[in-house]
């Protein structure tokens, strides 16, 4: 995980610098990209584990996990369990803030910027530092997960790293959890 933090560090520095530019978001909600209209962000297994680690180690986050699980169940209801890009409301968005911004934020979320700072052909895109970070992240996953790991949209990886918590919720309240046909692998 330390290695993943090292991969993310230049992206945090890049973002910190960009947000000081008043033209950066042009008055747009910074987390519009976390909602289903714009969001198809996929992450790797190590990034998902890093998010789980943040919830385990940070008592403030841990307290808010039930609300995350509730949103996660809703998001999962609209997704197929595969590795394709699909639209979703991120369960980690709370009060218009990314809950894991300080610890565990996925590489793609850190590197996604308006076009003047990233991809000149799109409205938004990944910065060049972001592409370098993706390559490093992929190598790291190869090393720790083997070559067959898959990128999946955020809720599908959260379903796996929070499978026990979702199962407990389903048992307690009868909510749809990760069971049935879409069970964890
Ligand atoms: S992890 Fe954070 S930045 Fe990424 S989509 Fe979710 S709420 Fe948004």
| pLDDT tens per residue, range 111-155 | 988 777 777 777 788 888 999 999 999 999 999 999 999 999 999
Q: List all residues 6 or more positions away from 111 whose beta carbon is below 8 Å from its beta carbon.
A: 11, 14, 118, 126, 127, 129, 130, 131, 133, 134
Phi/psi-derived region of residue 166, left when phi > 0, alpha when psi is between -120 and 50, beta in every other case: alpha
Compute the distance from residue 114 Cα to the ligand 1 centre, in Å.
Answer: 16
Phi/psi at 97 (nearest 5 deg)? -130, 150
Compute the distance from residue 93 Cα to the ligand 1 centre, in Å.
Answer: 6
Segment 6-12 mean pLDDT: 95
Tens digits of residue pLDDT in 58-111: 999 999 999 999 999 999 999 999 999 999 999 999 998 999 998 999 999 999
Extents of the domains making up the chain = 2-171
Measured by CA distance, the residue closest to atom 8 of ligand 1 is 34
Does pLDDT of 184 surpass 70?
no
Determine if the pTM surpasses 0.85: yes
Predicted pLDDT of residue 185: 29
Compute the distance from residue 30 Cα to the ligand 1 centre, in Å.
Answer: 10
Testing ligand 1's pocket by substitution, the residue of 8, 36, 98 carrying the most ligand atoms inside 8 A of its CB is 98
More confidently predicted of 138 and 175? 138
Compute the distance from residue 96 Cα to the ligand 1 centre, in Å.
Answer: 10
């Amino acid at each position: 995980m330390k290695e993943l933090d090292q991969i993310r560090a230049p992206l945090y520095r890049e973002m910190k610098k960009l947000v000081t530019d008043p033209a950066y978001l042009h008055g747009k909600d910074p987390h519009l990209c976390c909602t289903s209209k714009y969001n198809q962000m996929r992450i790797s297994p190590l990034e998902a584990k890093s998010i789980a680690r943040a919830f385990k180690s940070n008592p403030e986050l841990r307290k808010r996990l039930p609300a995350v699980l509730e949103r996660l169940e809703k998001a999962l209801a609209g997704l197929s369990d595969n590795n394709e890009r699909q639209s979703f409301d991120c369960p980690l968005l709370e009060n218009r803030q990314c809950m894991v911004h300080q610890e565990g934020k996925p590489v793609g979320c850190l590197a996604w910027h308006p076009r003047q700072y990233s991809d000149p052909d799109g409205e938004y895109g990944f910065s060049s530092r972001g592409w370098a970070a993706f390559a490093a992240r992929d190598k790291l996953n190869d090393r720790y997960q083997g070559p067959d790991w898959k990128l999946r949209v955020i809720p599908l990886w959260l379903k796996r790293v929070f499978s026990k918590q979702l199962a407990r919720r389903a048992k307690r309240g009868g909510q749809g959890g990760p069971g049935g046909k879409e069970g964890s692998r």
